[in-house]
Amino acid sequence: MVEFLKFVFSNFWMWLGFVIIIGMILNFIFRVYNRALRQRNILKHGYPENCNADGDFPQIKDKDTDDDGVTFKVL
């Protein structure tokens, strides 16, 4: 292990390459874990109703009906 650390720290470019590779591996692990948590959250709570397929918010209609059947105008 000590020999490996001496090899990595012997040259700046070797050290930089090692840091970039380790960063990419850790970033990949984080993204996989993040997606797994997001998938579990969506499975548990469902997909948010305020988002459509491309992720933006739907436009508000001129008229909407309340749960009581009362119609009101949305500004």
pLDDT band at 8 (very low <50, low <70, confident <90, very high): confident
Question: What is the arithmetic mean of pLDDT over 66-73?
Answer: 57
* Structural domain of 46: 2-73
3-class SS letters over 12-64: HHHHHHHHHHHHHHHHHHHHHHHHHHHHHHHHHHCCCCCCCCCCCCCCCCCEE
Predicted TM-score (pTM) of the model is 0.56
The tens digit of pLDDT for each residue in 51-68 reads 656 656 555 555 555 555
